[in-house]
Amino acid sequence: MPLLSQSRFPKLWLLMQRVIGGNASKQALATEYYRNQSRVLEIGCSVGNISEAFLKYPEITFTGIDIDEKALAVAQQRFQDAGNFQFSLRSLQELSRAGERFDYVLFAGMLHHVDDETAELLLRDALSCTAMDGTIVIYEPEAVRDQDGYFFRLFYALFEQGAYLRSRDALEQLVTRAGVKLARIEDRMVSPGIVTRPYVARFNLLLGGHDSDKS
């Protein structure tokens, strides 16, 4: 496990994300396709560093889930005064069995932490928790390309701790295999935080949902 991680030092990790970890750019990706959907689910919410982008929408009901108890404890503490936000260890299967359905389901840069088999299972389970007219938004750091420069490689080494970085094509194929009907896939450049240049990462942004032809 890296020395600086959300599990070891969650509050310090949050600070570093804000200062030089591209957090502002990532929050912009998380909300780019948000259109006032009322029920929001973030899968792999960590300490709530991306979740906080939704605080400006007071009418929503926000649910964040994660498997990291230490990170969740920080999120719960940070959002304790936001009555419409909840963070828990509940799994996607639990949510689905309980009949929970969400209008906006977000994978905010977490799929590169799991292998293809696990990622596909998570995506299928997420689809079962998505309302028939709901939206699934996925953004992921793209694996470094041969032509990418020093700043890209340094940023990835410091902040992208997942072992399963994928190419754009590989990510698109993975999401499609899971049954998510993709409406679009685009690239977005990420700035470090305290400055807006140089760009330090390329993220793939995917928008999808249920296949209406199969409903």
Give the mean pLDDT of 170-178.
98
Predicted confidence at residue 148, as pLDDT, reads 86
For CA atoms 119, 108, 57, 72, the dihedral sign is positive
Is the bond preceding residue 58 a cis peptide, omega within 30 degrees? no
Summarize pLDDT for 97-140 with one digit per residue, the tens. Answer: 999 999 999 999 999 999 999 999 999 999 999 999 999 999 99
Structural domain boundaries in the chain: 10-214
Predicted confidence at residue 196, as pLDDT, reads 73
pTM: 0.90
Which H helix or E strand runs over 62? strand 61-65
Per-residue pLDDT at 158 exceeds 80: no
Predicted confidence at residue 198, as pLDDT, reads 81
Pairing of strands 130-141, 201-209: antiparallel
Q: Which one-letter amino acid corresponds to residue 211?
A: D
Query: Across the chain, what does the average pLDDT equal?
Result: 89
Could you tell me the pLDDT band of residue 215, with boundaries at 50, 70 and 90? low
Could you tell me the pLDDT band of residue 1, with boundaries at 50, 70 and 90? very low
CATH architecture of 10-214: 3-Layer(aba) Sandwich (3.40)
Summarize pLDDT for 183-211 with one digit per residue, the tens. Answer: 999 999 988 777 777 888 899 999 999 99
